[in-house]
Structure 1
């Protein structure tokens, strides 16, 4: 087995994708409760041009008087009374000094669109400067106060760093909203669906005597490549050590065979990453993918999804996939939240 032990240095090793963090936008993500009902609609309109400035939040469009909830545990650091030109607004501050801004709260009396409602129509009872709030606590109601009169009822929601710099709340909102549902892909299910390469590729015995035993690992002294013997009687090569170690922990079960024995086993193709084991990106493209059954690549659309699957250090779980190996894979459906 000494010769097998040196295979690690002989494989063509590909490094962790240094560009993984840039392939998915590096927006800050805060752990928040969704600040209103999930019946609202919203898009990533952060940074869009507005009259004389850029948009520093996300607009969540909804029905008049839709409840608004505290996104975090914290305190009310600012509240607008009387109504300002930008409407009624309240700001919450968490224990880290980050602030969460709610603008355009309701300014109408019940059953009207008169714009004459006072602060009691905008803010929930007990919401005042210095008050302590808990995640999910009612803080007020959606409206169209201030300069939102002709924009429709909505919550303009901002997240700002302790120094006042706004960040894009979109990924935080997606993560908070997704807490109510599930992704249509999980690492555990992906790995359990493919416990072996035979299962992953759907390889079955088609009859006759196979030139090598199904499920065994073989190699010759003359080449460094390790092959998997499939149930279909063909051999499948591991293109590099990263793909090998997505399936196996060591080389202890690799059996040496002669060049003649290897030549007698038809080549079936390359082994692909074990589903769920890693994320991959092509060397020539910025997109990051999760691996699903039989080499199916599923686009990961945001850092939110990546962190939900692989944790905060998800970038360390991204491998560069050389373009030369891409023909063993196919593109599947993107990963998103199920309905």
Structure 2
């Protein structure tokens, strides 16, 4: 069994080596680690190898050039800088939300002394760089007016599908489509009861600017709070991987956790049009424990846990019978004795 495990680990390492070498070639790397043998030798030395750290620094610098990455990695001058290098690389991986637990859990200063972990790091950074370059290239080819037109057309297509209107054709004027849109909304409003709009006044240009600034500041506040909550969530989940049972169930835990984790985005999707579309009933906050709210959501668990008389557990100091418990200094051979009034009362009975 041990031989099979070693062979499986060696096969996985060879696969990572092939992937890392191919990705580096595609990214245009022509440094001293272009050869697979040299790349494997440097990964076996890990963070103490200056050639390996130089390759990581190159990947991070290239990634910063085409993305909004804030963390950085400093070049090393020898094995003495291995600890600093791993600490800085840990910051980069946290910002990139690296999904590989071997690179994000455990002792920070000992993660990059395994050839398999080092190859996994190179593959992750290379794929992130490749994706960032593709996104940057796509955004560079689009001009700003074209982007705005595409966004408007996309919104109109969503509205058309929601209202089941005919397809938007290039030869049909926009005014004609807007007229169809107004007629459809008017017809639906007469059938479906809607509360009045939350915003009833017309805003002046300077008020629109103030609203945009307020919206931007609230988006930043939301993103900051969401990142804090997501970070706390990540730390809590990582603590479950410290147990012995997690070593066996680690893969199953990741299969359940990561689909949920990827759905947690820090950026808010609320825009100004959402504010304009809000109705008055959105401003009425209904408590989740109210009868009207729980009428259709109440379950048997709530009936068991949330109904009935709650027993009194006491604990009020003014109801404790004297004398109060006395605390003495710890003595050799045993601590001080405590005397409770209720216990003495039971003994008398």
- Regarding TM over 0.5, the answer is no
Q: Which has the higher helix share?
A: 2
State the TM-score, normalizing by the size of structure 2. Answer: 0.23
Structure number with bigger Rg: 2
State the TM-score, normalizing by the size of structure 1. Answer: 0.23
Q: Which has the higher strand share?
A: 1
Greater relative contact order (Cα < 8 A, sep 6+): 1
